[in-house]
C-alpha cells in the first residue's frame, strides 16, 4: 500500500513539474489552470496524509518556472512566492475562516486585478533604478535590467519621499492594441503569429537586444513594496505611496483596486470584472485578494509555497461552439499517438482556432465524439484549445462515430497500449519516420546537446535526403553533403559542423538525457550520472541497484533495463563513444570528509545559499542528501517557510534540526 502511494506521489510530482516547465519555459501549456490546480490539490492531500513520503523536489514547494542561461541569475532578497488559487465563493469563505482563527479584530481586504503577464521585482537605490529581476523559480531569478529600463511606464529616477533602498514588484504585460499591431505586421510578412500577449511579453523580456524590446511597447503595473523600516501600515497605503514616487500603480478611480471588509465586497469586485474584463486594454485572468494590514500579514505568515494572507480567484476559461470536421492522428518521438481535431474556424480568446487536442482514445470514448458534432472548446490556460463537451441537439442520426486508429498513420505498424497507460504507441521506434526525426530533434535540443546551426527544418531535409537516419549519422556529415542541400549556404554549413564538433564536450548527464531513453528526463539523467558515473555502469546495473537511487522508481528502472537489453541501442552507444561523446561523469574530489556518514534533509528558503547550493556543499564534503526524514537522518537543515510536517516528524524521530548559520558553523568545523 505504501509503495503504491509513493508511486502516485512520484507520478503526480513528475507530471506537475512537466506542466510547470511547459507553462513557464516553453510557453506552451497543455492543461488549464483549473486542471493544474486540481492535480496540485491531489498531491497536497497525499503529502498531508503521508508526510514521510514527501519528495524534496515536490512541486508543492516550488513556485514554478526554470532559469534559462541567457541572463545573470540573482537571488531574491524577498522570495517571490506564488498564490494559492480558488474558483468559488465557498473557497474564499474557507480562506477567510482560516484567517479569522489567527486575527481577532475586523479584517480589511484589498482586491486587485490579476494581470496576465510576467512578474518582475525592481530594486531602487537612492531614487534610481538599480536592478530588475524576473520571478525565476521564486528564490532565484534572471536579471533583465537593460530591457526593463526600456519600458516607458517604469521610472528610472523617482520623485521625492521614497525610501533609500527598497524593491517594488508588479507585472509586465503586453497591451492588447500593441499585441494586435505586432501580429498584423507578422501576418503581412507571412510570419507565424504569436499565441497571446503573455507569451509575447515573456519572450520580449528575454530578448538579448534591448533596442528590440524598446520597439515592442511593453507596459507595467507596480503594486508591491518591499523593504526594511517602510513607513506604510497597509498594502493600500503602500500602493498610493508608490504612486507619489512616480510609479504606474493600479488606479482606484478605474476600479483596478478596491478596499473592502466583507466577502460580499470581494464577490462584487470579482463579478464586475468577470463581466467587464473584455473592455480592458490588457488581459487579466483573475482577481487577487490580500489582507490589507501589514501587521496582520506578518502574523499570518507563509506556507512553503505561498502567503497565507493572499489568494487568487481565477476566472473560468472562455468557451465557444464550433463543428468537428475531421481528426488527424500525430506520432511523437516516443511513438505516442495523439488525436487532433480539425475544426470549423472560430474566434476564441482573441485568436482564430482551427485545431484542438483530444489527448487520447479514452477522451474520444468519454466524449462519444462523432464527425460533424457541434463541440464546445476551451483554451487550457487560455492558450491550448481542447474539446470539453458536445451539443448533442445538433447530432444527426447518420453521423459517424470517431474511432481511434489501430495502425500507425506513418509506418502502418499495429499500435499497442501498455498496461496501466492511456496512450497508444507505435512500437516501430527504429523505422517510424516521425519517431526517428523526433529523436534527432530531441538530441539536438537546447536542454540536451544544444547543437547550434541545426533545427527541426534542417533535420527534416537531412532525413528526407537520406543523409541522417539516427543521431550517430549527424557526426558523419561533411561540408560537401551539406552545401548541396536546399537553403544551406556556406556559413550555415560551417556553423552546423562547428556545433556538432563542440557538442563532443557536452557533459555526460546531458548526453544521457539527449539519447532519449523513455522516462529519463533532465533531473533523472543528472541523478543517474552522478550515482553511477558512466553509461557502462548504468547499462549493467541490476533492477535493485537502479531503484536504490534517490527518486528512481520502478517505471524508470524497467525503462532503463529495456533500453540496454536492445542490441541496436547498445550499438548506437558504441558508435557514439567512438565519435567522442562524453559517456563518463567528470570526477570531482570532495572538499573534505566533514560530513562522511551523515545524511541531510534540506528544506525551506535560505539567505546565504540557494537550496541546491547547500546540497552541493553537503555532497562535496562527503555527506548524503535524502528527500524524506527517517531515523537514519543526521540533520534537518531548516530554512524559512519550511512546512510544519517535516519539523513535526524530525521532532518525533529525534532528528537534530539546525539553521543555515548552524550548518555553516558545522561545515567550518
CATH number of the domain encompassing residue 323 = 2.40.50.140
Residues 145, 258, single domain; the answer is yes
Q: To the nearest 10°, the Cα dihedral for 293, 296, 297, 298?
A: 120
Nearest by Cα to 124 from 159, 168, 161: 168
Residues 362, 233, single domain; the answer is no
Q: In this predicted model, what pLDDT tens digit does every residue of 132-179 receive, in sequence order? A: 999 988 888 999 998 898 888 898 888 888 999 999 999 999 998 888
Here the cell at position 175 is 497591451
**What pLDDT does residue 61 have?**
52
**What pLDDT does residue 350 have?**
63
User: Is pLDDT of 114 > 60?
Assistant: yes
397 is in which domain, residue-wise?
319-424
Residues 239, 362, single domain; the answer is no
From 407-421, 563-577, 607-621, the region with the lowest mean pLDDT: 607-621
Q: Half-sphere exposure of 340 toward its Cβ, with a 13 Å CA cutoff?
A: 16
Percent of the chain with pLDDT strictly greater than 70:
92
d(CA 116, CA 573): 45
The confidence band for 369, taking pLDDT boundaries of 50, 70 and 90, is: very high
Contact 406, 424 (CB under 8 A): no
Residues 81, 118, single domain; the answer is yes
**What pLDDT does residue 64 have?**
37
Q: In this predicted model, what pLDDT tens digit does every residue of 482-500 receive, in sequence order? A: 998 987 889 999 999 999 9
**What pLDDT does residue 66 have?**
41
Q: What is the mean pLDDT of residues 519-547?
A: 89
Residues 450, 483, single domain; the answer is yes
**What pLDDT does residue 17 have?**
67
From 24-33, 245-254, 418-427, 570-579, the region with the lowest mean pLDDT: 24-33
Contact 34, 77 (CB under 8 A): no
**What pLDDT does residue 63 have?**
44
The confidence band for 20, taking pLDDT boundaries of 50, 70 and 90, is: low
The confidence band for 535, taking pLDDT boundaries of 50, 70 and 90, is: very high
Residues 557, 530, single domain; the answer is yes
Q: Compute CA 37 distance to the chain's CA centroid, rounded to the nearest angstrom.
A: 14
585 lies in some domain = no
Higher pLDDT, 288 or 353: 288
Q: In this predicted model, what pLDDT tens digit does every residue of 240-274 receive, in sequence order? A: 999 999 899 999 999 999 999 999 999 999 999 99
Residues 406, 389, single domain; the answer is yes
160 lies in some domain = yes
- Using the structure block, give the residue that is written with the C-alpha cell 464550433: 322
398 lies in some domain = yes
Higher pLDDT, 69 or 359: 359
Q: Is residue 157 classed exposed, middle or buried when 0-12, 13-18 and 19+ CB atoms within 10 A define those classes?
A: exposed
Residues 194, 269, single domain; the answer is yes
30 lies in some domain = yes
User: Is pLDDT of 68 > 80?
Assistant: no
Contact 195, 383 (CB under 8 A): yes
81 lies in some domain = yes
89 lies in some domain = yes
CATH number reported for the structural domain that contains residue 661 in this entry: 3.40.50.10190
Q: What is the mean pLDDT of residues 359-364?
A: 88
The CA-to-CA distance between both ends of the chain, in Å, stands at 43
**What pLDDT does residue 569 have?**
95
Domain total for the chain? 5
Higher pLDDT, 28 or 253: 253
d(CA 317, CA 485): 46
CATH number reported for the structural domain that contains residue 491 in this entry: 1.10.150.20
User: Is pLDDT of 34 > 80?
Assistant: no
**What pLDDT does residue 23 have?**
65
Percent of the chain with pLDDT strictly greater than 90:
47
68 lies in some domain = no
114 is catalytic: yes
593 lies in some domain = no
Residues 79, 178, single domain; the answer is yes
**What pLDDT does residue 462 have?**
95
CATH number reported for the structural domain that contains residue 195 in this entry: 3.30.470.30
Where in 358-418 does DSSP place strands (E)?
374-380, 384-391
User: Given 371, 392, 424, which residue is the final one in a domain?
Assistant: 424
What are the distances in angstroms from CA 249 to CA 151, 173, 220, 282, 614? 14, 13, 9, 14, 38
Residues 277, 417, single domain; the answer is no
Q: In this predicted model, what pLDDT tens digit does every residue of 78-90 receive, in sequence order? A: 888 889 889 899 9
User: Given 258, 279, 314, which residue is the final one in a domain?
Assistant: 314
**What pLDDT does residue 443 have?**
95
d(CA 259, CA 67): 36
Q: In this predicted model, what pLDDT tens digit does every residue of 281-340 receive, in sequence order? A: 998 989 999 999 999 998 898 876 789 999 999 988 778 999 999 999 999 888 989 999
- Which residue in 61, 114, 248, 615 is the catalytic one? 114
Q: What is the mean pLDDT of residues 529-550?
A: 90
d(CA 195, CA 177): 15
Q: In this predicted model, what pLDDT tens digit does every residue of 95-110 receive, in sequence order? A: 999 999 888 889 999 9
Nearest by Cα to 37 from 426, 316, 375, 452: 316
**What pLDDT does residue 527 have?**
84
Here the cell at position 127 is 531614487
CATH number reported for the structural domain that contains residue 51 in this entry: 1.10.287.610
User: Given 579, 613, 631, which residue is the final one in a domain?
Assistant: 579
Residues 343, 300, single domain; the answer is no
Q: What average pLDDT does the chain have?
A: 87
Please state whether 27 falls in left (phi above 0), alpha (psi between -120 and 50) or beta. Answer: left
Which helix or strand (DSSP H or E) is residue 601 part of?
strand 599-603
Residues 162, 212, single domain; the answer is yes
Contact 584, 534 (CB under 8 A): yes
Amino acid at each position: 500500500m505504501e509503495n503504491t502511494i509513493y508511486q502516485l506521489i512520484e507520478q503526480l510530482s513528475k507530471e506537475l513539474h512537466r506542466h510547470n516547465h511547459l507553462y513557464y519555459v516553453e510557453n506552451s501549456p497543455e492543461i488549464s489552470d483549473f486542471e493544474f490546480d486540481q492535480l496540485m490539490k491531489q498531491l497536497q492531500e497525499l503529502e498531508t496524509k503521508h508526510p514521510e513520503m514527501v519528495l524534496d523536489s515536490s512541486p508543492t514547494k516550488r513556485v514554478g518556472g526554470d532559469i534559462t542561461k541567457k541572463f545573470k541569475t540573482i537571488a531574491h532578497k524577498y522570495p517571490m512566492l506564488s498564490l494559492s488559487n480558488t474558483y468559488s465563493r465557498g473557497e474564499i469563505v474557507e480562506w477567510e475562516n482560516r484567517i479569522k482563527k489567527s486575527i481577532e479584530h475586523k479584517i480589511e481586504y484589498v482586491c486587485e486585478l490579476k494581470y496576465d503577464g510576467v512578474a518582475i521585482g525592481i530594486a531602487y537605490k537612492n531614487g534610481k533604478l538599480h536592478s530588475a529581476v524576473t520571478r525565476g523559480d521564486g528564490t532565484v531569478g534572471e536579471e533583465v535590467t537593460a530591457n526593463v529600463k526600456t519600458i516607458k511606464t517604469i521610472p528610472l529616477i523617482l520623485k521625492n519621499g521614497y525610501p533609500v533602498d527598497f524593491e517594488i514588484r508588479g507585472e509586465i504585460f503586453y497591451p492588447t492594441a500593441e499585441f494586435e499591431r505586432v501580429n498584423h505586421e507578422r501576418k503581412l510578412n507571412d510570419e507565424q503569429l504569436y499565441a497571446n500577449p503573455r507569451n509575447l511579453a515573456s519572450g520580449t523580456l528575454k530578448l538579448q537586444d534591448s533596442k528590440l524590446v524598446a520597439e515592442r511597447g511593453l507596459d507595467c503595473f507596480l503594486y508591491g513594496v518591499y523593504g526594511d523600516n517602510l513607513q506604510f501600515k497597509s498594502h493600500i497605503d503602500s500602493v498610493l505611496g508608490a504612486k507619489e514616487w512616480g510609479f504606474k500603480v493600479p488606479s482606484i478611480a478605474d476600479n483596478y483596486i478596491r478596499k473592502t471588509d466583507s466577502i460580499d465586497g470581494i464577490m462584487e469586485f470579482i463579478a464586475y470584472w468577470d463581466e467587464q474584463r473584455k473592455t480592458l486594454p490588457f488581459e487579466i485572468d483573475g482577481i487577487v485578494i490580500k489582507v490589507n494590514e501589514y501587521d496582520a500579514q506578518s502574523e499570518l505568515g507563509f506556507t512553503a509555497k505561498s502567503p497565507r494572507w493572499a489568494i487568487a480567484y481565477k476566472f473560468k476559461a472562455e468557451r465557444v461552439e464550433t463543428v468537428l470536421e475531421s481528426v488527424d492522428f500525430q506520432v511523437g518521438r516516443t511513438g505516442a499517438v495523439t488525436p487532433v481535431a480539425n475544426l470549423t474556424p472560430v474566434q476564441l480568446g482573441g485568436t482564430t482556432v482551427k485545431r484542438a487536442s483530444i489527448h487520447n482514445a479514452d477522451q474520444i470514448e468519454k466524449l462519444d465524439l462523432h464527425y460533424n458534432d457541434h463541440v464546445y472548446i476551451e483554451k487550457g490556460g487560455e492558450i491550448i484549445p481542447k474539446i470539453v463537451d458536445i451539443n448533442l441537439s445538433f447530432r444527426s442520426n447518420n453521423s459517424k462515430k470517431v474511432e481511434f486508429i489501430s495502425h500507425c498513420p506513418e509506418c502502418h505498424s499495429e499500435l499497442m497500449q501498455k498496461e496501466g497507460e492511456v496512450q497508444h504507441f507505435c512500437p516501430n521506434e527504429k523505422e517510424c519516420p516521425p519517431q526517428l526525426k523526433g529523436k534527432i530533434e530531441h538530441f539536438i535540443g537546447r536542454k540536451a546537446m544544444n547543437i547550434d546551426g541545426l533545427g527541426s527544418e534542417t533535420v527534416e531535409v537531412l532525413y528526407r535526403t537520406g543523409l541522417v537516419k539516427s543521431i550517430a549519422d549527424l557526426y558523419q556529415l561533411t561540408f560537401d553533403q551539406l552545401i548541396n542541400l536546399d537553403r544551406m549556404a556556406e556559413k550555415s554549413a560551417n556553423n552546423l559542423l562547428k556545433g556538432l564538433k563542440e557538442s563532443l564536450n557536452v557533459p555526460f548527464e546531458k548526453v544521457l538525457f539527449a539519447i532519449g531513453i523513455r522516462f529519463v528526463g533532465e533531473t533523472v539523467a543528472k541523478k543517474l550520472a552522478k550515482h553511477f558515473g558512466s553509461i557502462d555502469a548504468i547499462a549493467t546495473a541490476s533492477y535493485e541497484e537502479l531503484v536504490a537511487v534517490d527518486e528512481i522508481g520502478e517505471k524508470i528502472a524497467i525503462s532503463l533495463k529495456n533500453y540496454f537489453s536492445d542490441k541496436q541501442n547498445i550499438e548506437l552507444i558504441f558508435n557514439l563513444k567512438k565519435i567522442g561523446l562524453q559517456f563518463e561523469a567528470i570526477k570531482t574530489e570532495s572538499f573534505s570528509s566533514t560530513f562522511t556518514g551523515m545524511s541531510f534533509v534540506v528544506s525551506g528558503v535560505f539567505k546565504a545559499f540557494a537550496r541546491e547550493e547547500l546540497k552541493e556543499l553537503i555532497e562535496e564534503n562527503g555527506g548524503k542528501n535524502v528527500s524524506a526524514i527517517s531515523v537514519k537522518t543526521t540533520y534537518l537543515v531548516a530554512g524559512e517557510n519550511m512546512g510544519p510536517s517535516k519539523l513535526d516528524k524530525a521532532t518525533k524521530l529525534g532528528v537534530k534540526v539546525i539553521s543555515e548559520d548552524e550548518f555553516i558553523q558545522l561545515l567550518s568545523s
